[in-house]
Structure formats: structure tokens, C-alpha cells
Structure 1
Amino acid sequence: MVTAKKAGLRLLGSLPLEPDIVLEGDNGTVNWMEQKDLPYTVNFTKIIDEVKGEFRP
């Protein structure tokens, strides 16, 4: 497996494995986005902010 560090890239973040979120994905739903205090949602939002920051002038 190639990691961000091995590839010389900055790690934007990581997402915890949440069985309920995996099931939602399998079912085609995204209810986790409405739960702002979930660790998954918090980390996902941080990653989005990092990506957006890469594209700001």
C-alpha cells in the first residue's frame, strides 16, 4: 500500500470506519451528513476544508 507520506504527499485527513455509515452507503443514503457531531462527519468536513484550501488563490 502506498501512503501519502511514501508518495511525498500531505495527508488531508482520515476517516474512522463506522459500520452504520458503510451500511448507509450500501443503501444509497447519506444520513450521516445531518449528524454534525459524529466523528466521521467532523473529519470529513475537515478534509473538505483542506481540499478547498488547496484551490484558493
Structure 2
Amino acid sequence: MPKFIKGQTLCENFFFDVAKPILDRRFPALTYTAGLLGYGSDVLGLDDETSTDHM
């Protein structure tokens, strides 16, 4: 089984590894913000191995 990664960390890694390089390359002068939207334990930073079995 893969190592558990909290939702906020997973999203942050995706942003910096995938989304940000694309935005920086395609739109170098663009000013933007990024955030994790939604509801649930992952957005609040309270997710754990058990909470990954739903949503």
C-alpha cells in the first residue's frame, strides 16, 4: 500500500510540480493565487488513513 499523504500536501505538491510550471511558462506575467476549496477533513487538514475511504 502506498504511503499516506495528507490532502493539503498532495494538492500543494501537484500545484508546484505540475500546475505552476505550466502557468509560469504559458503566462509569465500572470498574477494569481491558488487554494484548496471544498469541504471535508482534507480541506481542514484533519484527514488520516481512514478518511481516504470515502469522497
TM-score (norm 1): 0.29
Higher relative contact order (CA 8 A, sep 6+): 2
